[in-house]
Structure 1
Amino acid sequence: MKIKDFMITDVISVTESTSVKELLEILVSNKIGGVPIANDEGKLLGVISDGDVIRYLQPKGRTVYDMFSLVLVSEQEGLEERLTYSLDFPVSKMMRTKEIYTLKPNQELEDALTIFSKHPFKKLPVVNDQQKVIGVISRGDVLRFIYNRIIEK
């Protein structure tokens, strides 16, 4: 079974300049937990998940000095202050650009299972040979595919 047989092709993605506020609106309104970040041509630049946003907003007792806006954020600040401070930031400040796993449409279901079993990712981008995002696959997609095609057949 190939990735292209069950990947979601109606991909919701954002650009590096998308604000945190816009990202949150997209995640909440579409009931999704993350999106790929692509350039104007659709080439994958990074990924961002709800977990990345939460980790960014809760720096676990460390002080963050933001050179861009020259503002000091301390652990004593409340969530509302951190949110207000961060809402207009571009997602490029918190997106992941390293250790991004992708799938190709002609890879096998087992390749997705291997990645999901070894890493805590909830969603993986599917890219073509030019690294353009052409789909996404989530853990839930894999489980639904297994259930519908193997168990319920």
Structure 2
Amino acid sequence: MLVKDVMTTKLVGVSPDNSVRRAAEIMLANQVSGVPVIDDAGRLIGILSEGDLLRRTELGGAAAAELGTFALTAEEKATAYVKSNAWKVADVMSRDPVVVGEDTSLGQVSALMQKHRIKRIPVMRDGVPIGIISRADLLKAIVAADRDETAPGDEAIRRSIAIRLSENSSLLGKDMAVTVTDGVAHLWGSIDTEECKRAARVAAESVRGVTRVVEHFSGDRP
């Protein structure tokens, strides 16, 4: 699936000249935890998230912010002070946000969110923001996804499981075999770690038609 298949097209944004209070009101009213910051020309110049507001003085955050600044440089302390005390969105927002295009795959989006530890990414077209994709949108994609189609019959199921196991990078080089009887998958081979055993079980369970997985990981083969 691509970004355009699940993204939110109703773009709730704020102006860099809005007050932080006003931005918080907009976030609450729209039940979102972050908003893109868009200037008068329609350009994306930043993003404001709940994470940017955690050390606000309105929350009694001044003291907490000070406790965490002893190891910072003078410039970093100044930045922390501005984030905690500035009234204008432009001074508090995160600049140079990560962005994606509407034809980006959801796998790439997930990787970017994990790498940058972010919850939402603006979607751009010709340099203009047209929507936003969030972790919640990825959850919707998971719910909507169909399991892969598998031909009926134990042999077809066995072949599908074998393919899944061969594609699993954690199981490369493992001597494994699969048998299937009445939908029950039996996994055989030499696997010595619990995580690799779990990966093999999950790979088998993900195949349509499998009713149960039985593990035989003593090193024996059928």
TM (normalized to structure 2)? Answer: 0.53
* Alignment gaps of 5+ in structure 1: 65-72, 74-81
The CA distance in 2 between the partners of 1:135 and 1:110, in whole Å, is 18
Tell me how far apart the structure 2 counterparts of residues 127 and 90 of structure 1 sit (CA, whole Å). Answer: 25
**Distance change in 2, residues 1:44/1:143 (3 Å):** same
The aligned amino acid for 2:90 is: S
Query: Which position in structure 2 is the counterpart of 1:45?
Result: 45
Cα deviation code 1:89-134 (max 9, x no counterpart): 1111101114x2111001111111111222321111111122x110
Q: Is the 8 A contact 1:7 1:141 kept in 2?
A: yes
The offset of 1:17, in angstroms, is 0.3
| Structure 1 residue matching 2:93: 3-state secondary structure | coil
Q: Say which structure is richer in helix.
A: 2
Q: Which residue of 2 aligns with 1:105?
A: 102
The amino acid that maps onto 2:93 is M
The answer to whether the 8 A contact 2:124-2:131 is kept is yes
Instruction: Give the Cα separation in 1 of the matches to 2:65 and 2:30.
Output: 32
Look up the match of 2:27: 27
User: What's the counterpart of residue 124 of structure 1?
Assistant: 121
Distance of 1:150 and 1:102 partners within structure 2: 28
Q: Answer yes or no: is 1:92 the counterpart of 2:90.
A: yes
- Percent pairwise identity: 30
Quote the residue 1:54 is aligned against.
Answer: 54
Which amino acid is the alignment partner of residue 21 of structure 1?
R
Larger Rg: 2
Question: For residues 116 and 150 of structure 1, what CA distance do their matches in structure 2 show?
Answer: 23
User: 47-56 or 14-23, which moves further after superposition?
Assistant: 47-56
- In 2, distance between residues paired with 1:97 and 1:119? 13
Gaps of 5+ in 2: 70-80, 150-222
Check the 8 A contact 1:56/1:94 in 2, yes or no. no
Out of 135, 142, 146, the residue aligned to residue 131 of structure 2 is: 135
Relative contact order (alpha carbons < 8 A, sep ≥ 6): 1 or 2 greater? 1
Following the alignment from structure 2 to structure 1, what is the Cα–Cα distance between the partners of residues 46 and 66? Answer: 25
Three-state SS of the structure 1 residue aligned to 2:108 is helix
In the alignment, the residues of structure 1 paired with residue 13 and residue 93 of structure 2 have an alpha-carbon distance, to the nearest angstrom, of 12
Runs of 4+ in 1 over 6 A off after TM superposition: none
> When the two structures are aligned, how many residues end up with a matched partner?
130
Per-residue deviation, residues 23-52 of structure 1 (Å, max 9, x unmatched): 111111111101000112321100010110
Tell me the equivalent position of 2:189.
none
| One of 146, 167, 173 as aligned partner of 1:150 | 146
Given that residues 13 and 37 in structure 1 are in contact (C-alpha distance below 8 angstroms), is that contact kept between their aligned partners in structure 2? yes
